[in-house]
Structure 1
Amino acid sequence: MKTIKIIGVPEHFNLPWHLAMEDNAFEDRGIQLEWTDIPEGTGKMTQMLQNGEADMGVILTEGIIKSISQGNSSKIVQEYISSPLLWGIHVDAASDRETIASLKNDKVAISRMGSGSHLMAYINAQNQRWNTENLEFEIVNNLDGAVENLTNGSGAYFMWEHFTTKPLVDNGTFKRVGDCPTPWPCFVIAASNSFIKESEGLLKHVLEVINTYTAEFKQIPSIDRTLSNRYEQKLEDIQEWLSKTNWGQEQLSETMVNEIQSRLHDLNLIEEVKDASAFLWK
């Protein structure tokens, strides 16, 4: 039995992995898949892949592209979520700010540099035609840190996945002033180059298993109720999220890699646009 260490966020997107593990679908292929939840998100996960603390990661597309561009010895092995991620833009519930425009001069709470909450703050600012050079950040590590930061009067705003934060909006912790969808498929599966080199056959087995589960995921009877119960979300919110979310089973296209690089380069978040082969496992 070969052990493979995989990391991802503790969110509803990743339920197919857990169902496959509960069914021993990886063990049937001789693989002991060790899943670790990383609540700090993509910035932490890119670091773990780089440091050899994980073999694979289910990770935000823009975050791993930025990290590989800056020298992370990993590759994208395929898409995971082929639809956009809807980033909710939040302030403290007691704030008098009601619109995205009202946040123009405010600091941004982010989990860490290089995270989705960091990179998407630039995308949102660019969408709003703000000067992105004026963005200032407060590092809060994770969602719990953001709650502490915003409710203690920081005056910052915080971007996080819309449905994950919905309970905090419903219970009066956060106010959502708007949303910002990613302009690309939001999650990919990445693997370290050393793992790919040593275990390419096992990697193919992992992808075959997870693709079988994601291809049929929405057809699982009462999957909406299962998600609602496991992730403590309202059933109607899960149903809306499912209607907007598609799982992918193919490699990310070179065209999309170049589009994302171009956007990050325009924002001075990467130094150059590299050949797509630097990012994609073939």
Structure 2
Amino acid sequence: MPFRVGYVREHFSSPLLQYAEEDAGTTFTLVECPSGTGQIISRLKNDEIDIAIALTDALISGIANGSASYKLVGSYVSSPLRWAVITGKGSEYEEIAHLKEKDLKRKTIDIGISRTGSGSQTMASVMAQEQDWLKDGIELKFHVKNDIDGLIASVNDGSTSAFMWEWFTTKPYTEKGGPDDTGTVRFIGSVLTPWPSWLIAAHPSTDRVPIDDLNKFLKTLSTYVGRFKLANNRTSTLEFIKDKFGYQAEDIKAWLDSVAYPNNCAEIPIEVIRNTFSILEGAGVVQSQEGGFDIDKFVDTRVVTLTGEK
């Protein structure tokens, strides 16, 4: 029986989509999770998916905060993710700092997120740390809006001041000719993740994901990632992304110039997990672990190879 892979339908998923097209449901089926990593984690818990390709920070914070629904089994994207900071078309905010300056009297900033535990939430906390808002006593008030449509509506009706979403995915909504043909939001800045952006997780039960099947999946995914990275495939890669996602060619080229994938999807540098945990701890997203940091809590050592100093 094919296992189920949860993913977000974005340009990052292109090698996975190419793999899925050729596999044709023999090994796995794709389960789209439009609300992002928070929804993916929920579906792992609810036995709706078996494997997840999701955001590094949300996966790590989920385990650190007690989730036993999955462990990390591999890497998917080794470059940072560029998060746009987004506000309404007619809002008073012109840059990130204005979110604090305009809302200073209330000491809170209303931030839209897709779901609790999502990357949109963890990255807002990282942004607050980078902006020193936490030191200034500013609190973030999170409002769950489920998906990109709900988030866009929230910054335009004033129920939130801003939200964060991947730059190129959101960019069409800023331009006439985009999904609504008017341009409904504005970018007021961006924040890069201080970690590689996507990891692979799996439910630890071998009844749901046999180890041999998981190893085969990661090995074959590595092959598709390798093809995707080849310079001599750039034209076909560009056309694939344009056809699947409708992005402008110049945006695809800019993204291809910035993205990096691992050579082996079945490896994770140990520093990725340790450093991400440390940053999330500083941002107040996770708490210190009793007895110190335990890498075995985060990874399935039956599958993944950890690289670097332990």
**102, 115, 123: which one pairs with 1:112?**
115
TM-score normalized by the length of structure 1: 0.93
Compute the displacement of 1:191 (Å): 0.2
**200, 209, 217: which one pairs with 1:206?**
217
Q: CA separation of 1:82/1:26 partners in 2, compared to 1, >3 Å: closer, same or farther?
A: farther
Q: Secondary structure at the match of 2:268?
A: coil
Moved over 6 A (4+): none
User: What CA distance in whole angstroms lies between the structure 2 residues aligned with 1:109 and 1:25?
Assistant: 37
Alpha-carbon contact 1:25-1:209 (below 8 Å) kept: no
Paired residue for 1:194? 205
Superposition pairs for residues 160-171 of structure 1, below 5 Å? Answer: 160-171=165-176
Q: Show structure 2 runs of 5+ residues with no match.
A: 104-108, 177-182, 302-310
Alpha-carbon contact 2:143-2:160 (below 8 Å) kept: no
TM-score normalized by the length of structure 2: 0.85
Compute the displacement of 1:158 (Å): 0.8
Q: Secondary structure at the match of 1:98?
A: coil
1:252 is the counterpart of 2:268: yes
User: What CA distance in whole angstroms lies between the structure 2 residues aligned with 1:270 and 1:133?
Assistant: 18
Compute the displacement of 1:56 (Å): 0.1
The farther-off stretch of 160-169 and 52-61 is 52-61
1:38 is the counterpart of 2:57: no
1:63 is the counterpart of 2:36: no
User: What CA distance in whole angstroms lies between the structure 1 residues aligned with 2:228 and 2:31?
Assistant: 21
Paired residue for 1:134? 139
Q: CA separation of 1:162/1:140 partners in 2, compared to 1, >3 Å: closer, same or farther?
A: same
1:280 is the counterpart of 2:299: yes
Paired residue for 2:5? 6
Q: Normalized per residue, which structure has more helix?
A: 1
Give the partner amino acid of 1:226. F
Q: CA separation of 1:69/1:247 partners in 2, compared to 1, >3 Å: closer, same or farther?
A: same
User: What CA distance in whole angstroms lies between the structure 1 residues aligned with 2:42 and 2:114?
Assistant: 13
Give the partner amino acid of 1:117. S
Q: Show structure 1 runs of 5+ residues with no match.
A: none
**159, 169, 173: which one pairs with 2:184?**
173
User: What CA distance in whole angstroms lies between the structure 2 residues aligned with 1:92 and 1:99?
Assistant: 12
Alpha-carbon contact 1:5-1:35 (below 8 Å) kept: yes
Compute the displacement of 1:60 (Å): 0.5
User: What CA distance in whole angstroms lies between the structure 2 residues aligned with 1:52 and 1:10?
Assistant: 20
User: What CA distance in whole angstroms lies between the structure 2 residues aligned with 1:128 and 1:244?
Assistant: 24
Question: Aligned residues, how many?
Answer: 277
Q: Secondary structure at the match of 1:230?
A: helix
Alpha-carbon contact 1:111-1:140 (below 8 Å) kept: yes
User: What CA distance in whole angstroms lies between the structure 1 residues aligned with 2:196 and 2:286?
Assistant: 19
Paired residue for 1:217? 228
Q: Deviations over 1:168-195 (max 9, x none)?
A: 1123211101000000010011001114
Alpha-carbon contact 2:91-2:156 (below 8 Å) kept: no
User: What CA distance in whole angstroms lies between the structure 2 residues aligned with 1:197 and 1:44?
Assistant: 19
The farther-off stretch of 50-59 and 205-214 is 50-59
Give the partner amino acid of 2:167. H
Compute the displacement of 1:51 (Å): 2.5
Compute the displacement of 1:149 (Å): 1.3
Compute the displacement of 1:222 (Å): 2.3
